[in-house]
Structure 1
Amino acid sequence: MSKRKFLTLEERVDVIKKLNKGLSVRKVADELNCEKTQISNIKADRSQILSQWESGARSTGKCVKRRKTTYDGLNDELFEWFSRARSKNIPVNGPLLQERALVRSMELGFDDFTASNGWLQSWQRRYNVNFAMRSGEASGVPLEAVDDWIKRLPEITKDYALEDIFNADETGLYFRALPQRSMIVKGDSRKGIRTAKDRITVLLACSGTGEKLTPLVIGRAENPRCFKALKKSSLPVTYRWNRKAWMTAVLFKEWLEKLNTKMKSKGRNILLMVDNCSAHCHVQLSNIKLKFLPPNTTSKLQPCDAGVISIFKSHYRKRLLRHILSAMDEANTASELAKSVSLLHAIKWLDLAWTSVRGSSIKKCFSTADLLNPLLTLTQRKSKIMETSFRPCWKMPLGMTLSTWTRTCP
């Protein structure tokens, strides 16, 4: 019985030549003692395979003989998988390719293979693959407002232990979004894809000692189809809904009152810092003191914006990528692949992601926002905020650069 076997780039080009001469897929598969689906995939990816083959000879006018390595077969198979994904217009970024490489290497018994960044860069050079870039822009922060907050911070926090100082913030999560950047073969067209617009809002809250509250998730439907025969009370999050899946004053007040009841039952009084968006209404509560951050300063003064949300999204993204890997071969289009992710999937993954955020990472983010050092002088505090604004306060996943990590967040 034929089985899947490694075919080098040169062998795949030879397959294309045989097919062009009129040989059937079955005939070629029989000659090479491999599966028909493997030959069919090569036939479907012929333009990219030939483009990659030609680009390797373009600079010298002849084929470049590449140095053989232990992982040649794995590398070729990954390029075949990558080409198949791109033929379906499914974006493939570095972390996704690395995850696929790790899974396949374990199946092949390569126990010492790590899919490092160095390997990824070498693989990209070998197959003339690069990233299709997207640019972004940063917004300014009013430093006078930052300075004023720093001056008032000791007075604001003096009556609260660090374990009773909380920060809460919402983040939009496009829970079906495929990677925003994709690797492409050099010279290949950069086909656009329609980004999945299915968004939920997630409210995260944590304390200076790393305590994490149950996430609040806001969706668009009261009873999504994936919740059929499921009690919402059994979900690992608090689920609410409205037509736009946004935080509203009504939902925020409800969340605050339930949190106040919880703190009252424990005999705790907490300080809760939030930004001053319109949904964050002023509420007088017995066991929660609300403090609103100055406008447009959250990137420097709010712990959740100082890395907590980024870490959370990184963990969520990792689980989404694993699902993409498992479903990619069955999907015919990027749209079909995105639709395989349900809201219930997203809720389970974001719960696991929130659980995976370490208390030590949260404490570092509180330190970045200067909430761990109330005795520092004003000059020290200002210097510390400016310094930490230009470096990450969290530990990135192994084998991932900062630029790659931040671009994979939805």
Structure 2
Amino acid sequence: MCSRAPPKRSKYEAKDLTAKVEILKAVKAGVPRQVIMNKFNVKRSTLSTYVKNEAQILQAYDSDRFADNRKRLRTAAHPKLEEALLRWIADSRAAQLPLSGPLICAQAEKYALKLSIEDFKASEGWIDRFKKRHGLVFRNVCGEKGAVNEGVVEDWRAGLPARLADYDPCDIFNADETALFYKALPDKTITFKGDPCVGGKRSKDRITVLLAANMTGTERLPLLIIGKAEKPRCFKSIKKLPVDYRSNRKAWMTSEIFQAWLRELDRRFSAKSRKALMVIDNCSAHNNVSGLTNIQLLFLPPNATASLQPLDQGIIQHVKSRYRKQVLERMLLCMEAKKKYDVTLLSAVHMLAHVWSNTPPAVIANCFRHSGFVRDGDSLEAGDADVNENAEEDDSRFDRLLPPDVPLDEYIQIDRDVAVAGRLSDDEILNVLGDEDPDSDCETAPLMDACEVPRRTAKEADDALKVLEDICVVSPDSMRGLHHLHELRKIVLS
């Protein structure tokens, strides 16, 4: 009697990142492991390894640090040095600085010295392995500074629907910063225009504003405003602001402020069991924050924000235009009353919050769509709402209020070239890495002042539970309600 030989599994081929992500999606969807193993031709042990390394695989895929066709995530002999070097490279790319192999090797030697790594040699072999480990390609910078590589834009846009597929459109966000000369009046347009404002006297007249909204335009997160003064005098006696406010001496976004904002948002989403995707650019302050549980970061390609960043498709200009319209209207009222008009930080905060809260959801959604943020099967065609739909009406009102020698667009965009963040020094990069410990028990101070939940005492919680118990006693389903309250009491008062 002859026995049938077991079927031979076809020869195994190493999977690229895209395939690994597809396998992990199947696992999450509850597909039986045997079905996955047969479909993707992987062994049980290999599948278990993918599941074990899920966080690393997804982070590599979503951050674009590795090429999508990479087979292995090779580890380095000096991971902290390479992580610092990757941040330095991202920072340099964000600043549109040319990079080369010898320049990177020299920077690696500097980090080795600072980290007390002995016998490290940034040889040609090392730089080749480093580039392969991280899927890096260094091209010569040519043409106009910051020129957009259309091929990179189209490739990234083509792969976007697959990256959005796991998220509801309401949970896909874009965040971006812009600088604002909040006190600027039309007669100062020529003075302020083109000033990068990296310091000096004029820095006290500017703020940095972080805007964040979701893909449907239905959720606009509270504005984060960064000023120079820690406690502005005009904020005295103000108990609550309609925005979140932080400060530093240059009124810039910093990695510390961004991380605190992002971690607090992550905590809020975690409390609601909400998973979200946050799309951001490669600004030096946007370091890849570790330890997030409910927010996945997706970085835009360098030099491509003008084409791919939804907030850059007219949302930021819309907010600035409406803000300056309010400034001019208040100025006109003061002129008619023969009073001097001066914009305070408090009035600027309230005007910005008003403009942001009244930005039409359809306008935001169209800007996402214009950037290529559509899921498979959706149309790229924009809807009816347009960010400039009231442009003619607004323009005529502005013309009436502006001096004849100051064009409207020039006044609106006087702070277009103003810096929102500075480059990190070598020591700052290493310090940031030293502070990042996903297992740390350290808590970041809550940042969302506009949405703070007041702390309650144990006695207040106990009193509230007693009231609920009294209500449950007379309800038709009292036993089930009392049981749940008993469990809640153990959690809250333990």
Structure 1 residue 267 corresponds to structure 2 residue 277:
no
Following superposition, the deviation at residue 145 of structure 1 comes to 1.5
Alignment of 1:31-180 (within 5 A): 140-179=147-186
Q: 2: distance between equivalents of 1:266 and 1:401? A: 43
Q: Residue type of the partner of 1:396?
A: N
Q: CA RMSD in A?
A: 3.0
Q: 1:373 to 1:331 in 2, by over 3 A?
A: farther
Partner of 1:349: 351
Structure 1 residue 278 corresponds to structure 2 residue 280:
no
Q: 1: distance between equivalents of 2:183 and 2:146? A: 27
Q: Deviations over 1:242-290 (max 9, x none)?
A: 0000000000000001100111112210000000111001113100000
Partner of 1:250: 256
Q: Deviations over 1:119-159 (max 9, x none)?
A: xxxxxxxxxxxxxxxxxx99632212201211221221110
Partner of 1:361: 363
Q: 1:193 to 1:172 in 2, by over 3 A?
A: closer
Q: Tell me, which stretches of 5 or more residues in structure 2 are unaligned? A: 1-143, 194-201, 400-406, 414-494
Partner of 1:407: 410
Q: Secondary structure at the match of 2:302?
A: coil
Which portions of structure 1, spanning 4 or more consecutive aligned residues, are displaced by more than 3 angstroms?
137-140, 192-197, 328-332, 373-376, 400-408
Q: Residue type of the partner of 2:410?
A: R
Q: Secondary structure at the match of 2:348?
A: helix
Partner of 1:314: 321
Aligned residues: 248
Aligned sequence identity (%): 42
Q: Secondary structure at the match of 1:140?
A: coil
Q: 2: distance between equivalents of 1:265 and 1:213? A: 16
Q: Which residue, out of 228, 244, 268, partners 1:238? A: 244
TM-score, normalised relative to structure 1? 0.55
Alignment of 1:11-50 (within 5 A): none
Q: Which residue, out of 203, 221, 226, partners 1:218? A: 226
Partner of 1:396: 390
Contact 2:210 2:223 in 1 (8 A): yes
Q: 2: distance between equivalents of 1:255 and 1:369? A: 25
Following superposition, the deviation at residue 181 of structure 1 comes to 8.8
Structure 1 residue 208 corresponds to structure 2 residue 215:
yes
Q: 1: distance between equivalents of 2:149 and 2:247? A: 34
Q: 2: distance between equivalents of 1:358 and 1:140? A: 31
Q: Residue type of the partner of 2:377?
A: L
Partner of 1:11: none
Contact 2:216 2:364 in 1 (8 A): yes
Q: Tell me, which stretches of 5 or more residues in structure 1 are unaligned? A: 1-136, 183-191
Q: 1: distance between equivalents of 2:350 and 2:223? A: 11
Q: Residue type of the partner of 2:393?
A: G
Q: 1: distance between equivalents of 2:330 and 2:160? A: 44
Q: 2: distance between equivalents of 1:348 and 1:246? A: 20
Q: 2: distance between equivalents of 1:315 and 1:408? A: 12
Structure 1 residue 289 corresponds to structure 2 residue 292:
no
Q: Deviations over 1:166-219 (max 9, x none)?
A: 00000101101123798xxxxxxxxx6577651000000000111100000000
Q: Deviations over 1:358-397 (max 9, x none)?
A: 1011011111111135336xxx97xx7xxx9xxx754234
Contact 1:264 1:287 in 2 (8 A): yes
Q: Residue type of the partner of 2:225?
A: V
Q: Deviations over 1:276-318 (max 9, x none)?
A: 1110011131000001100111111011001111111122111
Q: 1:352 to 1:294 in 2, by over 3 A?
A: same
Q: 1: distance between equivalents of 2:286 and 2:214? A: 19
Q: Secondary structure at the match of 1:177?
A: coil
Q: Residue type of the partner of 1:320?
A: V
Contact 1:365 1:394 in 2 (8 A): no
Q: 1:153 to 1:314 in 2, by over 3 A?
A: same
Q: 1:278 to 1:217 in 2, by over 3 A?
A: same
Q: 2: distance between equivalents of 1:292 and 1:255? A: 17
Q: 1:173 to 1:193 in 2, by over 3 A?
A: closer
Q: 1:194 to 1:354 in 2, by over 3 A?
A: closer
Q: Secondary structure at the match of 1:154?
A: helix
Q: 2: distance between equivalents of 1:180 and 1:306? A: 28
